[in-house]
Every structure is written in C-alpha cells, then in structure tokens.
Chain A
Amino acid sequence: MSETTMNLTLKIWRQKDAKSKGKIVSYPISGISGHMSFLEMMDVLNEQLINEGQEPVAFDHDCREGICGSCSLHINGEAHGPDRGVTTCQLHMRMFKDGDTIFIEPFRAKAFPVIKDLIVDRTSFDRIQHAGGFISVNTSGNTQDANSIPIPKADADKAFDAATCIGCGACVASCKNASAMLYVSAKVAQFSLLPQGKVEAKDRVLNMVEQMDKEGFGNCTNTGACEVECPKGISLENIARMNNEYLKASITREA
C-alpha cells in the first residue's frame, strides 16, 4: 500500500533574537508522512530553508524520546500539540490532516523570555530548583542505603509520579496565568513525601515558592489546564499538597 503524504501550511513565530520584535511567518511544506514526528517535520522544513539560503527555524530538542524536557512548542493552541501525554518530539504528524494550517509558537510567559524563534529561556525553572529542589545526603562513606528505609507504597508511588516531571514548562505555557505551580509542586512533592526529604521540607517549600514568585510567574487559579497538557500527567493533587505544606511551614517556621 502506498503511503499518502500531507501538504501543510506552517505559521511559525520568527524572532531574530531576544531584543528583536518577532512575527508569524507562513511556510508551505509538502510530502510530510504521518509517521514522522513533529520535530522530524521541522527538520524537513529546516533543510528546505537551508537549501533556499534562508535562516532555519531555531527550536529546542535533545533526546527526542520524551524524557529530557528540552522540546517545547505551542502547536495549534496547545503546549506540545493536540495529543495527550506526549512531548512535541513524540507527537506524530498523523495527528494532522492534509491541507491543515499549523500554528507553531514558543511557550509564552514573562518568566520564559524568547531567545530566538521558538527557543525560550527556561532557566527560571533552574533557579527555582536551586532554591530548594534537593536533599542533603551524607556521602562520606557511611551513606544509608535508601532501600533500608521503609516507605508506604502509596507515598512511594506518589513521590515517583511527581518525580516524572521533566521540567519542560508545558504547565506554564498552558496556564492562562502563566503559573508555574504544577512544576514547583511536583518538585516539592517528590521529596516531601519521602523520609529523606522531610529534613528540609519546610525551607524547601518556602524558598521554592519565594523564588517562583520572584521569577514573575502568575498565580494559580485552579483551571487545571496544566494537568491536562502535562506530557507526564503530573496531578493537581501536588499543587494542593504544596499549598498545604506551604501553609503549615509558614505558620510553624522559626522567626
């Protein structure tokens, strides 16, 4: 059976650098197979642009198997496109139809400034992580084996689920308020649910939330858009847990 290919119109945000004003530019593209990933389609476009002597479209990517959190893109009005539980690199072109127009924009947030075209600066996430997303472990040779500490199965499962967050920023991109609560709550919960994370639990939540606010993310209004668009299905339950922990920590912290 011969494979049918698609002809598409891409409307892509082009921006020379962080200081320049950007705009949407249209690119027709043809011969796209439904088996291609979205980023492979972008590769085809870039080859075409290079052959024509034009500047290729800059976009973030690394592992291309959905675990690194590098790829982003707001595709046709949704972070990581119309599919669920996948990153842009795992999005297949079969999700689109021949003749479709596809809008491709960078993740938009004041805390994610555009660097070039579709690449945004997500180091605000790194700074939040530095503020408290760690545990202190003795590495001088007498480190306790983590498996020797009993942990309830339900807690271990929830901590693991939270830890699957790849920090891509789809939650921020999808939220109407550009809030980073889902990301921060996943990073808080993955530790606070476990005995190893209890030691620094209070400081962690207070410091990470403080840094989140400093970065200029918006406030959470519980629309739940983040949970729907998250490629890893991080639950809103984490945000409730963070709110709860934050309240307790702010009441009981030392002066």
Chain B
Amino acid sequence: MKTSIARKVLMALSGFFLLFFLLQHFVINFSSVFGDGDGFNSASHFMGTNSIIQFGLQPVLIFGVIFHLAMGIYLELQNNKARSVKYAMNKPGANSSWMSRNMIYTGLMVMLFLGLHFYDFWIPEIKTKFIVGDMTGLMADGETLRYFHELQLKFQDPIRVALYCVSFIFLSLHLLHGFQSAFQSVGFNHNRYTPIIKKLGNLYAVLVPLGFIFIAVYHYLNPPH
C-alpha cells in the first residue's frame, strides 16, 4: 500500500474482481429475457439466499467496490499534485485515448449509478430479507418467485431505463481502458498475448454494457401481463 506500484496492482486486482462479478451479474440478468423468467427467478433466489454468497462473497464485493473507488479518488488527488502548474497549451489527445485519461470521471458516473441501483434493488432486497424477515422469495400468492416480476416493474419507468442506459455507456468507456490496463498493472505485457487481451477487453467493454442496455430496453418494451 505504501508505494505507487503496490497501489496500482491493488487497483488492478480489485478491477479484475469487479470484471468477474459484472460478467456473472450479466449472465444472470440475461436469463431474464428468456422464457417466463423462471431461470432468472431461480438464479436470483439462489444468489439471494445462499449463505456463502450472501455472507462470504457479498462483503468482499462491497469492500472491492469501496476500495476501488477510494483508491481511485486518492490516486487522482495525488496525481493532480504531481503537476501543480498546468500547461498553457496541452494536446493530450495526440498521445492517449480519452478513456484512459478520464477513468476518474467515468468511474464516478458508474458509482452514481450504483447508488441508484442499490436504491432500486439492493436496499429493498435487504429490507425484505433481513428486516421483514421474509426469506421465501415468494410473491403474495405464495407460489411464484417475486424477482422477475419486480424487475419488470422497475423497468416500466422510462426515466429509469434512460438513466440505466446512459450509465452503461459510462461503464463501457471505463472498461475500454480498464480491462487491458489491469493486465499491464499486474505486470503482464507480452507481444504475443497483449494484442489478444486488448481485443478481448474491447469485446467485453462493448458487449457486456450493450447487453445490459438490451435487457433494460427489452423489459421496458415487454411489460408484465
């Protein structure tokens, strides 16, 4: 934690963990566009009630998100201090991508989105399970799981759908740099594999957020019966 390289490596490791989390979140969400949401219901119920996930992995995830955010802000402040007098004329676009230079802003936008996302899904979920004490995951009829229905209802609000879509664009911009950058940070740069990692990173950064946008728009266009 004391040196620049140690902090950079920790930033990358938390990033890798979040990349993995995002992919599994995407796979589960994507199941909601198939069938009557049965797959989504059972996956959500499993994720929400399995104690290893709830009490083992969830705290790690929350720590990972907070750590990635706090470290990102700390590094940004430190980096700003490293050049106290700015250039009168600067052309950063001549030597680096917009994404690589604006990670703090795209990252903060993703964090704002997470606030909304927690308000929409995570807080109500914690309330139902741990304050009300209803661990069944069932609707009032006592037969069907409630998760798919709740998802459909949330995405009936066009403003929410729009906010989600815009946030996924910021996420995409963040990942376009972040994915390949994490490999470089942990010391992996090889002339045979790095070009493949960069392509894979671009695919991930475009397809996953695009997939999330598709899911949000799909549910907006397909309201509950």
Contact = CB atoms under 8 A, between A and B. Distances in A.
Interface string B167-199: 000000000010001001111110100000000
Given A178-B83, A236-B184, A247-B186, A219 B97 contact: no
Interface string A233-245: 0001101111111
Contact of A222 (B3, B91, B184, B191): B184
Between B75, B79, B103, B191, the greatest number of chain A beta carbons within 10 A of the residue's beta carbon is seen for B79
Interface in B62-111: 75, 78-79, 81-92, 94-97, 100-101, 103
A-B pairs, top 9 by smallest CB distance, nearest first, are A244-B187, A77-B91, A218-B82, A240-B189, A103-B89, A177-B79, A228-B95, A243-B187, A223-B96
Interface residues of B, number: 38
Nearest to B103: A221
B7 interface: yes
A225 B83 contact: no
Contacts of B96: 176, 223-225, 228
Contact of B185 (A82, A222, A237): A222
A243 B185 contact: yes
A110 B92 contact: no
B196 to A, nearest CB: 15
B8 A224 contact: no
Interface in B20-36: none
A174 interface: yes
Interface string A84-114: 0000000000000000000101001111001
Interface of B: 3-9, 75, 78-79, 81-92, 94-97, 100-101, 103, 177, 181, 184-189, 191
Contacts of B4: 179, 181, 209, 212-213, 217, 219-220
Contacts of A178: 79, 82-83
**What is the size category of the interface that chain A forms with chain B?**
35 or more
Tell me what chain A mostly uses at the interface: helix, strand, loop, or mixed: mixed
B186 A111 contact: no
A21 B177 CA distance: 37
Given A222-B181, A225-B96, 10 more contacts: A108-B85, A176-B79, A212-B4, A217-B82, A219-B75, A225-B92, A228-B94, A242-B5, A243-B9, A246-B6
